[in-house]
């Protein structure tokens, strides 16, 4: 990278307000271009700020608030959580002016709230989204969009009826590496798509949702009955409250949490809307701590041919007991190469398949008589050319690296705010969110049923 190009690169990045750049960029590497900051040259008065309320202020809720706060013209105005300590934390981080409450309905009644971010347990998503839209609030809803499959279409209908903006929170939809992979795929970089191999593995207690439980957790500091909602009633249980992802009553398991990210990426890259057949399997192999969600889940999926892609298969895995250390990738395997999307960027490797046999080597040619070998060689060279074996290109590999400090989560939030301000179309709306969540929940359903399920990805319903 020349000094002039690097100067422009750093200037553009600093205007973005979404990252901090280091100084260790290496010449000759392919760096993806930093997204433009839509608000770099715009000034916002106090009355022109978009005021957002955060419903659910746990790990992801706090991450959402941090990302939203980096977007110009946004104010963290209110916070709702069922643990009192998190309400205190939100004021410590974002100021005493942040209004706090346990009951999200109080937030929906606030006339000066423009949008809400829903980062609750999965079993509350549909209830709060529909009430928020009815109250006239735009919505950023964490994935998976719904807890049960039959909730999905009611959420789609609620968005359409409201006319308001809804964005689901899986940042791979707008991340640079996903968009670059989509560009490469659409350019024909790997020929015809055959198979997608994707995984999101972990190997730690935190990765397996063994989250910290505060020492002051009690029926006095936690709104337990409100948390239960429409889940089965049971006595106060601080482990279930702070580690809700481990329980089917409130969460959707590793498929609902992590398969959704993988489906999101592959749908953006290929233009697919979903599989037609879903088979899930797995089990609880190691984290036998009272949870009922498996710690290993595998999915096998069929995607039918469409205008955007040929028919292809997907093999998907989440393993919370990965002794190799964990990791994530989405690998598109085609007839002429592989596109691999990983945490630090995108790699494309071209190694075209040889569609015609050559004579010699490990081949039936060596089993022919000498005369037939001579005849075959003469025929082959007349048909394919005597330099056929040398027309196959040598393998090529190109790595497209993310700019240092790039924050995909903040990028996703910037797109949401731009949609609210300028009317931009949201890619990950409720329809997209349903099409990513449904096959994830379908994998869980298939695992419990012990058989494949048929899904209509266009009509968005089980067959």
Q: Assess if residue 12 is contained within a domain.
A: no
Greatest C-alpha distance within the chain? 92
Q: Does 1 reside within a domain?
A: no
41 and 84 part of one domain: yes
DSSP 244: G
Residue 303 lies in a domain: yes
Place of tokens 């609210």: 420
Let me know if residue 240 belongs to a domain.
Answer: yes
CATH code of 43's domain: 3.40.50.720
How many domains does one find in the chain?
Answer: 2
Co-location of 144 and 207 in the same domain: no
- Regarding whether 285 and 204 lie in a shared domain, the answer is yes
Q: Is residue 386 part of a domain?
A: no
What is the three-state SS of 103-166?
CHHHHHCCCCCCEEEECCCHHHHHHHHHHHHHCCCEEEEECCCCCCHHHHHHHHHHHHHHCCCE
Q: Tell me which of 128, 157, 172 is where a domain ends.
A: 172
Last residue of a domain, one of 129, 151, 172: 172
- Could you list the pLDDT tens digit for every one of the 463 residues in the chain? 343 443 333 333 333 333 322 333 344 468 898 998 889 889 999 899 999 999 999 999 999 999 999 999 999 999 999 999 999 999 999 999 999 999 999 999 999 999 999 999 999 999 999 999 999 999 999 999 999 999 999 999 999 999 999 999 999 999 999 999 999 999 999 999 999 999 999 999 999 999 999 999 999 999 999 999 999 999 999 999 999 999 999 999 999 999 999 999 999 999 999 999 999 999 999 999 999 999 999 999 999 999 999 999 999 999 999 999 999 999 999 998 999 999 899 999 987 666 666 676 778 988 999 999 999 988 888 887 755 544 455 678 999 999 988 999 999 999 999 999 999 999 999 999 999 999 999 999 999 999 999 999 999 999 9
Distance CA 446, CA 149 (A): 13
* C-alpha closest to that of 448 among 255, 160, 237, 214: 255
Q: Which two tokens stand for residue 13?
A: 């990045």
Do 113 and 66 belong together in one domain?
yes
Take residue 347 and report the two structure tokens written for it.
Answer: 């790699």
Q: What is the pLDDT of residue 19?
A: 34
Neighbours of 76 (CB within 10 A): 22
Burial degree of 369 (CB within 10 A; 0-12, 13-18, 19+):
exposed
Residue where a domain stops, chosen among 153, 172, 191: 172
SS3 content of the chain, % helix, strand, coil (to 5): 35, 20, 40
**Taking Cα atoms as reference points, which of 177, 223, 200, 418 lies closest to residue 297?**
200
Query: 124 lies in a domain?
Result: yes
Instruction: Name all contacts of 209-217 with Cβ < 8 Å and 24+ positions apart.
Output: 209/243, 209/245, 209/246, 209/291, 210/243, 210/287, 210/289, 211/59, 211/242, 211/243, 212/242, 213/238, 213/239, 213/242, 213/243, 214/83, 214/85, 214/242, 216/85, 217/83, 217/241, 217/242
Q: Are 100 and 78 in contact (CB under 8 A)?
A: yes
Residues 180 and 162 both lie in one domain:
no
DSSP-based three-state secondary structure for 183 = helix
Task: State whether 253 and 293 are in the same domain.
Answer: yes
Domain at 319, CATH number:
3.30.360.10
Residues 80 and 229 occupy one common structural domain: no
Tokens describing residue 246: 């481990």
Residue 68 sits in the same domain as residue 190: no
**Structural domain includes residue 141:** yes
Chain centre to alpha carbon of residue 194? 22
Question: Contact 142/169 with Cβ under 8 angstroms?
Answer: yes
Residue 239 and residue 343 in one domain: yes
Neighbours of 143 (CB within 10 A): 28
Domain that holds residue 40: 31-172
Residues 337 and 209 in one domain: yes
158 and 207, same structural domain? no
Using CA atoms, how far apart are residues 387 and 380, in angstroms rounded to an integer?
11
Same structural domain for residues 191 and 278? Answer: yes
Instruction: Give the H/E segment covering residue 93.
Output: helix 84-94
Residue 275 lies in a domain: yes
Query: Which pLDDT score is estimated for 387?
Result: 54
């Amino acid at each position: 990278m020349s000094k002039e190009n690097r100067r422009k690169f750093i200037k553009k990045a600093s205007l973005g307000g979404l990252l901090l750049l280091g100084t260790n960029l290496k010449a000759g590497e392919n760096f993806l271009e930093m997204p433009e900051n839509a608000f770099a040259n715009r000034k916002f008065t106090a009355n022109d700020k978009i005021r957002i309320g955060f419903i659910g202020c746990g790990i992801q809720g706090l991450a959402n608030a941090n990302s939203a706060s980096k977007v110009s013209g946004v104010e963290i105005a209110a916070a709702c959580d069922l643990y009192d300590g998190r309400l205190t934390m939100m004021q410590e981080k974002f100021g005493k002016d942040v209004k706090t409450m346990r009951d999200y309905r109080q937030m929906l009644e606030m006339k000066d709230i423009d949008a809400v971010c829903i980062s609750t347990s999965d079993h509350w998503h549909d209830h709060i989204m529909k009430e928020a839209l009815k109250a006239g609030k735009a919505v950023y809803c964490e994935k998976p969009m719904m807890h049960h499959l039959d909730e999905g279409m009611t959420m789609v209908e609620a968005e359409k009826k409201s006319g308001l903006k809804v964005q689901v929170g899986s940042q791979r939809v707008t991340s640079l590496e996903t968009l670059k992979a989509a560009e490469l795929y659409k350019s024909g970089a790997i020929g015809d798509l055959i198979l997608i191999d994707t995984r999101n593995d972990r190997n730690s207690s935190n990765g397996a949702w063994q989250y910290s439980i505060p020492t002051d957790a009690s029926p006095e500091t936690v709104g337990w009955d409100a948390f239960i909602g429409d889940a089965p009633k049971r006595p106060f249980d601080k482990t279930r409250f702070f580690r809700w992802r481990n329980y089917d009553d409130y969460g959707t398991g590793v498929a609902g949490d992590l398969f959704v990210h993988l489906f999101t990426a592959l749908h953006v890259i290929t233009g697919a809307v979903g599989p037609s057949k879903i088979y899930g399997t797995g089990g609880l192999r190691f984290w036998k701590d009272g949870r009922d969600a498996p710690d290993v889940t595998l999915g096998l999926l069929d995607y039918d041919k469409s205008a955007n892609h040929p028919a292809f298969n997907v093999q998907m895995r989440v393993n919370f007991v990965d002794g190799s250390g964990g990791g994530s990738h989405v690998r598109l395997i085609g007839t002429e190469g592989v596109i691999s999307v990983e945490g630090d960027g995108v790699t494309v490797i071209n190694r075209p398949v040889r569609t015609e046999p050559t004579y010699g080597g490990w081949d039936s040619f060596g089993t022919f008589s000498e005369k037939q070998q001579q005849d075959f060689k003469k025929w082959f060279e007349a048909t394919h050319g005597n330099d056929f074996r040398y027309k196959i290109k040598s393998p090529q590999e190109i790595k497209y690296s993310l700019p240092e400090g790039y924050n995909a989560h903040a990028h996703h939030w910037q797109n949401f705010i731009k949609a609210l301000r300028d009317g931009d179309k949201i890619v990950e709306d409720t329809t997209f969110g349903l099409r990513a969540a449904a096959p994830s929940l379908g994998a869980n359903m298939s695992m419990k049923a012990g058989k494949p399920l048929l899904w209509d990805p266009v009509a968005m319903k089980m067959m």
